Amino acid sequence: MHPENSSVGHEKDNRRPVGSKMALVTKLLVLPICTGVIGLFFGVALDQSDSYISRADDCYASLLDYTYGLSYVGTIAGSLNNADARNEQIGTYNIEANEKFSAPSSKIANKCDTEYFDEQNLAQWQDNNHEISSRCFANRSCTGSEALSLAATAQNLTNNLLNDVHAVTKWGTARRVAYMFRHLY
């Protein structure tokens, strides 16, 4: 009988070294898992890179709504400050102030990512918005002409924010990638 036909020799040929078994485990388990994780990461990353532009568009629309409401600030503030206004008229003016001014400014806070704006532009806009809200609507202590002056300043500051948001579509690759990593969820 030849040694290659014996059962002992046959078993020896079928044995695999431990290293090749580990390589097989790696191929069957680790590589698909890593590929899936990397695929998920890039899938989320691509979604983020597409959605930051649509979010910027929503923010831009919110800023335009706010700009539209600014044209009513002087009229509403003057009406609220009128000593002859009755309670039901004041209620109507408050509703109008909410619809034309407060709701759009809240929408900006919800729709606009602060990373879209220059920090100084945003801080100035927030201060002005707070001044209009508190002085002209909450405390009713500004006259129509003061409200118009504040609204004109707000218009200029809002134009700065509109320019900042418009620049989002022109972000370079490094800024887009940095934004994507900060917003992975």
Helices (H), 29-185: 31-70, 73-80, 87-97, 103-111, 119-131, 144-166, 173-182
C-beta atoms surrounding 42 within 10 Å: 10
Q: What is the pLDDT of residue 161?
A: 96
Query: In this structure, are residues 97 and 159 in contact, taking their beta carbons and an 8 Å threshold?
Result: no
pLDDT by residue (tens digit) across 112-144?
Answer: 988 889 999 999 999 999 999 898 888 888 888
Q: What is the pLDDT of residue 108?
A: 93
Q: What is the pLDDT of residue 96?
A: 85
Q: What is the pLDDT of residue 22?
A: 63
Q: What is the pLDDT of residue 170?
A: 84
All residue ranges of the chain with pLDDT < 70 are 1-50, 83, 183-185
What residue type is assigned to position 89 of the chain? Answer: Q
The number of residues making up the chain comes to 185
Helices 119-131 and 144-166: crossing angle in degrees, nearest 10, is 150
Q: What is the pLDDT of residue 137?
A: 84
Domains of the chain, by residue range, sit at: 53-167
Q: What is the pLDDT of residue 30?
A: 63
C-alpha R_g of the chain: 32
pLDDT by residue (tens digit) across 43-58?
Answer: 555 555 567 778 889 9
For residue 125, what are the CA distances in angstroms to 23, 120, 154, 158, 169?
A: 60, 9, 7, 7, 22
